[in-house]
Amino acid sequence: MVDSLVTAVRLERRHFVLDVAFEVASGQTLAVVGPSGAGKSTLLRLLAGLERPDTGRISLDESVWVDIAGGRFLAPERREVGLVFQDAALFPHLTAAGNVAFPLEAAGVGRRQRRAQAASLLERVGALPLAEARPGALSGGERQRVAIARALARDPRVLLLDEPLSAIDDAGRGALLDVLREALIGRIGVLVTHRLEDARALGSAGTVVLRDGRLAD
């Protein structure tokens, strides 16, 4: 049996309703495109456990992350997820290496191993020279590179990408696309983006449009 992420949730806000259902198999990435305000980032926050739906269910293989009717809601740190935020959301008081090492520290990985893994991941995304810099000294593209490295730190089964290349210049885009393609091999991915080029490049499970809180092929 192929592992898969199965999602069917509904979230209601005063002026907005998100009502989506989809399935993504292991080794596949679903690309979600749509206008601003359509609910793309909210969808990723639901998958990561940073938002709680009003109704519905989310499961990864045999692990149930959310079952509102059954009273189950798995905390974010217990989900096998790496999330790249659109604005990077790095900890301002930590260096780039410290940001990448943070989830490893939370998982109980020893200091020497944390440092080695953080350096390896920063090198992978082309950001090793930035290891001792703090986020305030980094450009938007540099922060995104560090955010991608941090999302990969705990070797997640599901990788959630919120406009991961929006601040990357054209010169660096191709190389980082290759990094993301490699990172998504064997994982489940959900990418949200405004760029159809990125959706075509990474969306191995196809591309869907999110408009007014609903998905369409």
pLDDT digits (tens, 9 = 90+) for 200-212: 999 999 999 999 9
The reported pTM is 0.95
The residues near 78 (Cβ < 8 Å, ≥ 6 apart) are: none
Domain 1-80+157-217 CATH class label: alpha beta
* Residue-level pLDDT at 170: 87
Residue-wise pLDDT tens digits, 143-197:
999 999 999 999 999 999 999 999 898 888 999 999 999 999 999 999 999 899 9
Q: Does the pLDDT value for residue 63 go beyond 90?
A: yes
* Residue-level pLDDT at 97: 98
* Residue the block writes with tokens 């930590």: 94
Task: Report the chain's mean pLDDT, rounded to a whole number.
Answer: 95
> Domain residue spans in the chain?
1-80+157-217, 91-155
Give the single-character DSSP code of 26.
T
Tell me how far CA of residue 50 lies from CA of 83, 179, 182, in angstroms.
Answer: 11, 26, 26
Helix (H, G, I), strand (E, B) or coil at 64: strand
State how far the Cα of 197 lies from the Cα of 203, in Å rounded to an integer: 10
